Amino acid sequence: MKRFRLYSTLIVAILVILLGYNTYCIVQLYKSIARQTTELVTQSLRDADLDEILNRAKKYPVPDSLPPYRGKQLSQSRSIHGDTLYIVVADDNGDISEIRKEPLAPGTNYSDIMVNEIGYGAHQTIGPMYPLDIADLDSLFRLSLSRKGIATDTAAIISVAADGRVTAGDPSLRRDSRLDSVSICYNIMTGGRYVAYYSSPLGYILTQMTGIIVSAVALVIIITVALWYLFRTVSRLRTIEEMKDDFVSNMTHELKTPIAIAYSANDALLNYDTSNDPSRKEAYLRIANRQLKRLSELVENILAMSMERRRTMRLRCEAVLLRPFVEEIAAGQRMRGDKKIIIDVAVTGDAVTEADRTHLANVLNNLIDNAIKYSGDSVRITVTGDSRGISVADDGIGIPAKALPYLFNKFYRVPHGNRQDVRGYGIGLYYVKSISEKMGWTVGVRSKEGEGSVFTINFNGDER
């Protein structure tokens, strides 16, 4: 058992570690998909920006003339070093007036840079000519998100100047802490940026993780149920093992007692002159006879249990006239002489039932034997019955209420503290219940500590 506990603890520890690692992997997967989702949102913002700037040129007529340019003529050149885009701004004399650095997002490739360059050029050309349509930009942003399967409750864009001023859109979006945001620079020369605010796309992320989450939860449930069933089964086996040990111990005492008494009586007959004392001789023979009968009953019960377990026991039912049958059993029990025993038989004279005589006798003997065993210095037993059923009532010590649900379990014995005068091996009442069920009967019990017990067998199979 100690080895089982050690291995069980080790297996549970390994499973807990694996579960922890699996949880860690799921969290990392969530973070990875969240990063990918952010990249998709950023891509949607770039797509919306490019579509919106090109839509401006389609909406408005081509102007007859461009407004005169009043500032310096500037030019720019771009180069990429590592993960940074360098922008060199020069005036018409070729003097460098500014060098800007734009960090590139992880995974940015040259096609992305080319698209960005197209957008920068479009903004520098079209932006001064036509005003921004922020509503159109919002609509295109939501459309792009929808095409990528990302559904959010809120998706809106604001335009921010280089100095942080909101030049278009709803400024209150900045103060909403429930919203996530991404931003892009749409005009390198002016430093203007678009910032997109959107509610967390948790549903989209969880949808991507549905398979692994469902399989992980199912695996945890299956393992938990399997472990629970395993430990429950082992616990029950351990309980049965302990009950069997008690059974062997109790059975040994129970068998040794009649053997020892019968041996002592026989030894007295052999070693003492009893020919001149007929009463003593008869007493010794009766003692030996009672103990051998008791031994026979014990062996009969054990063999019956063995046959019942193998499902090979066959009942030989016949019509049994109950009153003389019960009277015969009561007469035998009155002769035990262990204590003052009064057995009253109140069975209807014409009561008849279909039963196996041998097993019915064992059932009644068990019930009466228990009534005698679990009583004080004297006991009064009343056997009542008719064609519907039979009851055995006593005025013994009674049965605790907490023991009643387990009374008919195999090897179960009602605890009686340290009393050594009450012995048994916990199969008598189990035998009674098993035989009753095989005959289509039901058996029940009513008892209260200190007030005796009533065992009732119903031949009709219903509770009375």
Write phi, then psi, for 385 (nearest 5 degrees).
175, 170
Q: Which CATH class is domain 314-464?
A: alpha beta
Task: Kindly give, in sequence order, each residue whose CB lies less than 8 Å from that of residue 384, ignoring residues fewer than 6 positions away.
Answer: 346, 347, 390, 391, 393
The alpha carbon dihedral of 283, 286, 290, 292 has a sign of positive
The 8-class DSSP code of residue 153 comes to S
Encode pLDDT of 10-26 as tens digits. 888 888 888 888 888 88
In contact, 180 and 199? CB cutoff 8 Å: yes
Beta strand extents in 336-388 (DSSP E only): 340-347, 352-356, 378-386
In the CATH hierarchy, which fold is given to the domain comprising 235-312?
Helix Hairpins (1.10.287)
Helix (H) or strand (E) holding 156: strand 155-160
pLDDT at residue 326, rounded to an integer:
92
Encode pLDDT of 236-295 as tens digits. 777 777 767 766 666 666 676 677 777 777 777 777 766 677 777 777 777 777 777 777
The 8-class DSSP code of residue 170 comes to -
Q: What is d(CA 93, CA 70) in angstroms, rounded to the nearest whole number?
A: 16
- Residues (pLDDT < 50) of the chain are 69-72, 310, 418-420, 464
Quickly list H helices, 374-427. none
Residue type, 89: V
> DSSP letters along 173-194, please?
GGG-TTEEEEEEEEETTTTEEE
- List where CATH 3.30.565.10 sits in the chain: 314-464
Q: Within 10 A of 82 (CB to CB), how many other CB atoms are there?
A: 7
Q: What is d(CA 139, CA 133) in angstroms, rounded to the nearest whole number?
A: 10
pLDDT at residue 70, rounded to an integer:
47
- List where CATH 1.10.287.130 sits in the chain: 235-312
In contact, 101 and 32? CB cutoff 8 Å: no
